[in-house]
Amino acid sequence: MKLCITEKPSVAKDIAQILGADVRRDGYYEGGEYKVTWTFGHLCTLKEPGDYEERWKRWALGVLPMIPARFGIKVIPDKGIERQFQVIENLIAEADEVINCGDAGQEGELIQRWVMQKASIHCPVKRLWISSLTDESIREGFAHLQPESDFDNLYHAGLSRAIGDWILGMNATRLYSLKYSSPGNVLSIGRVQTPTLALIVQRHFEIENFKPEDYWELKTIYRGAVFNATSGR
């Protein structure tokens, strides 16, 4: 049996129709030699600090920085997610081959690899790499499936970004919250959100503190055409 794992239910439906897997089951489609299932984007995430060490459960400056010797992943604690992961795990255990049908990009690669790793995959894996979901594109992609190893560097790049976000977010959020926030309030720090928020705040203050000033521009008219000086105001 060949198992296709997509990133979204809608994508699974499109691919299942092309492959002839038109029988709907609980959490997947099947037909012929194929079964097609899906994630909901992220089913797995990096473990929380308290999952690594008991002392990291308590917010205290003395335990910072928190840097695990080896990062691990876990299924996101949500009933719907846990149920779908169980479906995928059972299907992977039965599969002769898995086809990674995740989105063509760094994040898509990371999402699918984490799910397969957590499900303890042992069978061969191939990669479907397509940029559109037209029938022609899907058929072309399945006719030219690629080895999973061709995308190892893409996965490692996504993993490195996720770990970097974890180290910065977990440690800086606790540091700033403990030092600069009132008890019970959290100052969330993130690689993307914090500089983006800083840009918004900076622009807000620029608008708030704007003071209009009179200025003159040097112009002249020559043969009915207006010319502006380029030297400024």
Q: Per-residue confidence of the chain (233 residues) as pLDDT tens digits?
A: 999 999 999 999 999 999 999 999 999 999 999 999 999 989 999 999 999 999 999 999 999 999 999 999 999 999 999 999 999 999 999 999 999 999 999 999 999 999 999 999 999 999 999 999 999 999 999 999 999 999 999 999 999 999 999 999 999 999 999 999 998 899 999 999 999 999 999 999 999 999 999 989 999 999 999 999 988 78
**What domains are defined for the chain?**
2-160 (3.40.50.140)
φ, ψ dihedrals at 144, nearest 5°: -135, 55
Kindly calculate the radius of gyration of the chain based on its CA atoms and give it in whole angstroms.
Answer: 26
Q: Are 88 and 37 in contact (CB under 8 A)?
A: yes
Name the token pair of 173. Answer: 């959020």
Q: Are 191 and 164 in contact (CB under 8 A)?
A: yes
Gap between the Cα atoms of 17 and 8, Å rounded: 15
Gap between the Cα atoms of 214 and 216, Å rounded: 7
Gap between the Cα atoms of 3 and 94, Å rounded: 9
Which whole-number Å values give the CA distances from 80 to 20, 87, 118, 159, in the listed order?
27, 11, 17, 25
Tell me the pTM.
0.84
Q: Are 37 and 27 in contact (CB under 8 A)?
A: yes
Residue with tokens 């990096």: 46
